[in-house]
Amino acid sequence: MKKIIAANWKMNKDRAQARATAEELAAGLSAGRASGRSVMVFPPFLAIAEVSKVLGGCADTVVGAQNFYPAESGAYTGEISLAMLADAGANWVLVGHSERRHVLHESDSLLAQKTQYALSRQFGVVFCIGETLEEREAGKLTDVLTRQISQGLSGVLDLSKSLLQEKLIIAYEPVWAIGTGKVAGEKEVLEAHALVKDVLAKQACDLSSLPVLYGGSVKPANAQALLALANVDGLLVGGASLEAKSFLNIINA
């Protein structure tokens, strides 16, 4: 399995900046610098079309969106549909990122609805999970990750296993490590990823073969060590993905 390196640009870059970064990234990818890697880029909505045009010709590279609403159309002010995203060139979505859970208060039930909706319409989903510092210190890691996975994937278990294996990725991001400069230690990452694989294996259909990414203050300096850990199938990168050179260094770690 190729390691998956995903970039979440969050609320950064206008269209010109996004295009320039994508062009620099495409040049690095086309130069063969991403051998053995699958690359994903999640720009802000208004930059998706620009980035998709630039990266569309790069092998093993997909463009996705950071959010969507699970309806075809309608009176959902401020939201965006999968059809609109597909028209812009996106075919993957992030679901359940900690900022959606904890800042925008998206519930487990809504995240389950979004996950089922996207997968049933042939969109790929990177489903994000992770505990807060308070939850970890209270010994609730197992309970939190088990709940997030079991409830978040509850609506997709009747879909074909082949579809789930092709279109579903899990990303473990300890909330306390996102954008803080703190990185979970080797023991903590191994513990969490082993737990995730165990919970996936216990679903109605064994999903332990799904890729599990690590995210949380990933940088070029620590990428190689993280990728070398057992059960770490790739990385979800935030701030360090905003500069193409930095992101390319992570891709090639």
Question: Model confidence over 62-82: pLDDT tens digits?
Answer: 999 999 999 999 999 999 999
CATH for 46: 3.20.20.70
User: How far apart are the two ends of the chain, measured CA to CA in Å?
Assistant: 16
Average pLDDT over the chain, rounded to whole?
94
193 assigned to active site: no
**Top-confidence residue, 10 or 216:** 10
173 assigned to active site: yes
**Residue 157: pLDDT over 60:** yes
Residue 33's pLDDT is: 57
Residues pairing with 77 in the sheet: none
**Residue 179: pLDDT over 90:** no
Mean predicted confidence (pLDDT) in 127-133: 95
* Local structure of 34: helix, strand or coil: coil
At position 63, the amino acid (one-letter code) is V
Q: Which band of pLDDT confidence, cut at 50, 70 and 90, is reported for residue 32?
A: low
Is 9 in contact with 224 (CB distance < 8 Å)? no
Single out the catalytic residue among 50, 99, 106, 173: 173
Q: Of all residues in the chain, what percent carry a pLDDT higher than 90?
A: 87
Tokens of 38: 């699958």
Report the domain count for the chain: 1
Q: Which domain holds residue 247?
A: 3-251
Is 23 in contact with 57 (CB distance < 8 Å)? no
pTM greater than the 0.75 cutoff? yes
Single out the catalytic residue among 97, 99, 106, 193: 97
Residue 34's pLDDT is: 59
Q: Which band of pLDDT confidence, cut at 50, 70 and 90, is reported for residue 233?
A: very high
